[in-house]
A and B are shown apart, each in its own frame.
Chain A
């Protein structure tokens, strides 16, 4: 196989670089949501025990919006950095062309599944927005925001998976690595390790 191996670090091309910037922006929002959950929970407990006045809105805000934001907005960034666990036992043993072809197929059908989820969620977000659907609670939070957060995260994940399907196929055809692949595991001779 010719060409160097592109790992999860530098982007393989301009599109991947542009996508990575979008993904970093989304994961920043995800971490903000995580920090918000932590702070709201602490304030809620403090208010309940110190002032007997718990936050009436915390349960719904966290359950409806913030957990979704933490999860779905971090999805594409995690995919970009190969953070989603995968079996790396068999793939390295395969010839490069076969591996790229199988991964192109796999990411292709995955893209179709993610596209279906994205489209269905977009429809639900649109319906909920137009009908002004809200939860039945002390504060009637609108439900379209949760669907919209999911739609955005899944849409960018679709782009990342679609990109991988296309560029794994290109790699299989050209015989060169044109897409980022997971960093190789270290060997017996190299005990350097890296914590992320």
Chain B
């Protein structure tokens, strides 16, 4: 009954258009009050707020977002996108494919899915709309391409999973490389399919000569520099991921200055925007924490795990059930909160079933990606909506074909663990 009331409050507040963070926080607080009264609620409120932002590791969020803001100012993302457009823009739907490649490239210099979606939204959507792309297709591609940053190193989600599961982060990052490429190919094939079905949705672009193609690569050096500053320093062990995020933001600022794009006004706007986006994410995490405590105390998570354990079915079927659970949770909860709440519960079960934890980590991150673009809490779609001011219904419908394609990619990754585990196995 308590769980039902809390869920009703959550749904009512979401439907009324209240901020998601407030809806989760209030519904969680109502549930906690009904469950244990003021003493329980007071104890949780006393610690939750500060603990959300009290930690060194959390700086990856503001720093990677700030890096993305400086990248936007510098015009580097435009160059990356332009170079990709020159290489693949000739084919029908080519600008959308260039967006995917730029998303993969941006993913290689940023671990933030929302930052990637925001950057792509501000660069590629205007270009696609100008070319005459159907807005639904353009926005859907951007929202789904943003999720590549969660998989391609450096990935905040994989790093977070590594910390929770106590698994070497290097192996996890390497484990994300081939699945990242597979998902990139999946999105591009989906575009090919969509354009084949409806040629009017995306026009063909102009073709470029080899001289222009190679000339476009000269403008990509800042991306290589940033990639080195972020992933290079993590791989080489020069800096931790948190330090690398700070270095990345600083390097992006220097690139913006080098490109003569950094003015005081632009810097103030970039930092204010980064602060607001960080705040938006952390506020959801704060709300998710309160809601998560309610779920934990009422043993909803444990009951679900016990129920799965009690099922008389093969370990593969149990894996499917777990992944379906992640899919459903992704509809309603923040991905970071999902990892924090569920990995301590699901990982022992996975180890008991003799599955590989690195493979499982990559699988659940790919599954969580789906939640980034599905209603009601598809963060990437919200970010694209925030930048483009387009209706959410249109954006969600544009992303649906990619969701189906993503589910096929997840099935392939689940069926062939070697795709994930081969690269880590070659590490010394």
B290 and chain A: residue at smallest CB distance: A113
Known contacts A45-B247, A150-B50; is-contact A78 B279 (Cβ 8 Å): yes
Known contacts A42-B247, A67-B55, A150-B50; is-contact A86 B19 (Cβ 8 Å): yes
Interface residues of A in 57-114 (CB under 8 A from B): 59, 62-64, 67-68, 70-72, 74-75, 77-79, 81, 83-91, 99, 102-103, 105-107, 109-110, 113
How would you classify the secondary structure of chain B's contact residues: helix, strand, loop or mixed?
helix
Judged by a CB distance under 8 angstroms, whether B81 is at the interface is: no
Give Cα distance in the complex from A105 to B16, angstroms: 10
B391 and chain A: residue at smallest CB distance: A185
Set of chain B residues within 8 Å of A56, measured between Cβ atoms: none
Contact status A42-B246, CB under 8 Å? yes
State how many angstroms separate the Cβ of B415 from the closest Cβ of chain A.
35
Contact with A along B258-294 (1 / 0, CB 8 A): 0000000000100111111111101110000000000
The 8 Å CB contact of B56, one of A31, A59, A87, A110, is A59
The 8 Å CB contact of B29, one of A79, A113, A120, is A113
A-B contact pairs, 29 of them (CB 8 A): A34-B278, A35-B271, A38-B63, A38-B253, A41-B243, A41-B246, A62-B59, A77-B276, A79-B19, A87-B15, A87-B20, A88-B391, A88-B392, A91-B15, A99-B17, A102-B15, A102-B17, A106-B22, A106-B26, A113-B22, A113-B29, A117-B49, A121-B49, A121-B50, A124-B46, A183-B389, A186-B389, A186-B391, A187-B391
Set of chain B residues within 8 Å of A188, measured between Cβ atoms: 135, 394
Judged by a CB distance under 8 angstroms, whether A116 is at the interface is: yes
Judged by a CB distance under 8 angstroms, whether A180 is at the interface is: no
Judged by a CB distance under 8 angstroms, whether A136 is at the interface is: no
Chain B contacts to A: CB under 8 angstroms: 12-23, 25-26, 29, 41-42, 45-46, 49-50, 52-56, 58-59, 62-63, 66, 72, 121-122, 125-126, 129, 135, 238-239, 242-243, 245-247, 249-250, 253, 268, 271-280, 282-284, 375-376, 379, 382, 385-394
The 8 Å CB contact of A34, one of B46, B125, B271, is B271
Contact status B53-A45, CB under 8 Å? no
Give Cα distance in the complex from A89 to B379, angstroms: 14
Interface residues of A in 144-196 (CB under 8 A from B): 146-147, 150, 154, 161, 182-188, 191, 193-196
Q: How large is the interface on A (under 10, 10 to 19, 20 to 34, 35 or more residues)?
A: 35 or more
Give Cα distance in the complex from A89 to B332, angstroms: 15
Judged by a CB distance under 8 angstroms, whether A20 is at the interface is: no
B253 and chain A: residue at smallest CB distance: A38
Judged by a CB distance under 8 angstroms, whether A27 is at the interface is: yes
Contact status A193-B390, CB under 8 Å? yes
The 8 Å CB contact of B26, one of A113, A147, A154, is A113
Known contacts A87-B20, A113-B25; is-contact A67 B390 (Cβ 8 Å): no
The 8 Å CB contact of A85, one of B13, B135, B382, is B382
Judged by a CB distance under 8 angstroms, whether A49 is at the interface is: yes
Set of chain A residues within 8 Å of B21, measured between Cβ atoms: 84-85
Contact status B250-A37, CB under 8 Å? no
B268 and chain A: residue at smallest CB distance: A31
Most buried by B among A71, A72, A78, A183: A71
New A-B pairs, 9, CB < 8 Å, besides A31-B271, A35-B271, A39-B250: A40-B246, A87-B14, A90-B15, A107-B18, A110-B18, A120-B46, A146-B54, A187-B391, A196-B273
Most buried by B among A27, A37, A84: A84
Interface residues of A in 6-51 (CB under 8 A from B): 27, 30-31, 34-35, 37-42, 44-45, 49
A190 and chain B: residue at smallest CB distance: B389
B57 and chain A: residue at smallest CB distance: A63
The 8 Å CB contact of B279, one of A74, A103, A110, is A74
> Across chains A and B, which 10 residue pairs bring their CB atoms closest together, nearest first?
A41-B246, A91-B17, A84-B19, A102-B16, A31-B271, A63-B56, A106-B18, A74-B279, A71-B53, A74-B275
Contact status A45-B239, CB under 8 Å? yes
Give Cα distance in the complex from A75 to B49, angstroms: 12
Set of chain A residues within 8 Å of B46, measured between Cβ atoms: 120-121, 124
